[in-house]
């Protein structure tokens, strides 16, 4: 295996994800001083190019030779980090829109209220383990049930929190990572009006 290509691939992929995260922060939270919208758009192109180059280097590194156990672990970690980063970005965008809608409907975004956190696990065992972990981390009451038309098992945890606190990037990332540990997906949150 070409260890230099492997190293370049991992570095390029991580740099690309970092650039994409910074661009997302620029658009969703606060503009980065000195960065115009066009520069941010260019930055997203550079981030995507770096990710693409990283994947290309990794493909070349693995061509022909089977990877070692250590290299497989690193690749799985990089894939997992990429999946977590992508899920977090999607939730950040969706949550920003949800906060706007709630604010337009007169909801106090800083007042604690009942918030339902939604997750889907691949089977009942992991759903049960995920529910126990969520209750330990957040308190609240978890409900487990089959999702409609799927083999997945839904987990819903009701907590008391403000919508703004639930939509913070760090909170989103924590929920996505917790779900990922149980091979589950975080499917967002909601609250009654």
Is 186 strand, coil or helix? strand
136: left (phi over 0), alpha (psi -120 to 50) or beta: alpha
Is 154 strand, coil or helix? strand
| Pair of tokens at residue 173 | 């990332």
User: Within this chain, do residues 99 and 118 fall inside the same structural domain, yes or no?
Assistant: no
Are 63 and 6 a contacting pair, CB within 8 Å? no
User: Within this chain, do residues 96 and 114 fall inside the same structural domain, yes or no?
Assistant: no
Domain that holds residue 39: 3-103
Q: Tell me the pLDDT band of 128, cut-offs 50, 70 and 90.
A: very high
Lowest mean pLDDT of 27-41, 155-169, 177-191, name the range: 27-41
Which of 20-24, 41-45, 85-89, 90-94: highest mean pLDDT? 90-94
User: Within this chain, do residues 34 and 56 fall inside the same structural domain, yes or no?
Assistant: yes
Lowest mean pLDDT of 86-95, 103-112, 154-163, name the range: 86-95
What is the CATH classification number for the domain harbouring 131? 3.30.70.970
Regarding pTM above 0.75, the answer is: no
The number of domains in the chain is 2
User: Within this chain, do residues 24 and 54 fall inside the same structural domain, yes or no?
Assistant: yes
pLDDT of residue 1: 47
- Answer yes or no: is pLDDT of 108 > 90: yes
CA 151 remoteness from chain centre: 22
User: Within this chain, do residues 9 and 96 fall inside the same structural domain, yes or no?
Assistant: yes
User: Within this chain, do residues 143 and 173 fall inside the same structural domain, yes or no?
Assistant: yes
User: Within this chain, do residues 182 and 150 fall inside the same structural domain, yes or no?
Assistant: yes
- Answer yes or no: is pLDDT of 64 > 70: no
Last residue of a domain, one of 86, 103, 120: 103
User: Within this chain, do residues 97 and 11 fall inside the same structural domain, yes or no?
Assistant: yes
- % of the chain surpassing 70 pLDDT: 60
Q: Rounded to an integer, what distance in angstroms lies between the CA atom of residue 118 and that of residue 155?
A: 6
User: Within this chain, do residues 144 and 173 fall inside the same structural domain, yes or no?
Assistant: yes
User: Within this chain, do residues 74 and 142 fall inside the same structural domain, yes or no?
Assistant: no
Last residue of a domain, one of 103, 134, 165: 103
Average pLDDT over every residue of 48-63: 69
Q: pLDDT tens for residues 65-75?
A: 665 666 566 66
Lowest mean pLDDT of 8-17, 112-121, 144-153, 165-174, name the range: 8-17
Q: Tell me the pLDDT band of 78, cut-offs 50, 70 and 90.
A: low
Average pLDDT over every residue of 59-85: 65
User: Within this chain, do residues 12 and 95 fall inside the same structural domain, yes or no?
Assistant: yes
User: Within this chain, do residues 116 and 99 fall inside the same structural domain, yes or no?
Assistant: no
Last residue of a domain, one of 103, 127, 153: 103
């Amino acid at each position: 295996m070409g260890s230099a290509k492997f190293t370049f691939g991992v570095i390029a992929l991580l740099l690309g994800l970092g650039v994409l995260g910074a661009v997302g922060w620029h658009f969703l939270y606060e503009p980065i001083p000195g960065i115009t919208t066009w520069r941010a758009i260019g930055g997203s192109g550079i981030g995507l190019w770096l990710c693409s180059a990283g994947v290309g280097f990794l493909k070349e590194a693995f061509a022909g030779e089977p990877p070692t156990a250590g290299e497989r672990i690193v690749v799985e970690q990089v894939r997992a980090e990429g999946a977590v980063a992508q899920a977090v970005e999607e939730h950040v965008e969706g949550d920003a829109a949800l906060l706007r809608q709630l604010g337009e409907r007169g909801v106090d975004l800083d007042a604690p209220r009942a918030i339902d956190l939604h997750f889907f696990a691949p089977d009942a065992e992991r759903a049960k383990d995920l529910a126990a972990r969520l209750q330990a981390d957040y308190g609240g009451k978890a409900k487990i049930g089959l999702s409609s038309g799927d083999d997945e098992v839904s987990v819903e945890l009701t907590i008391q929190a403000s919508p703004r606190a639930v939509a913070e990037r760090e909170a989103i990332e924590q929920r996505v990572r917790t779900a990922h540990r149980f091979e589950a997906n975080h499917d967002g949150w909601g609250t009654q009006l």
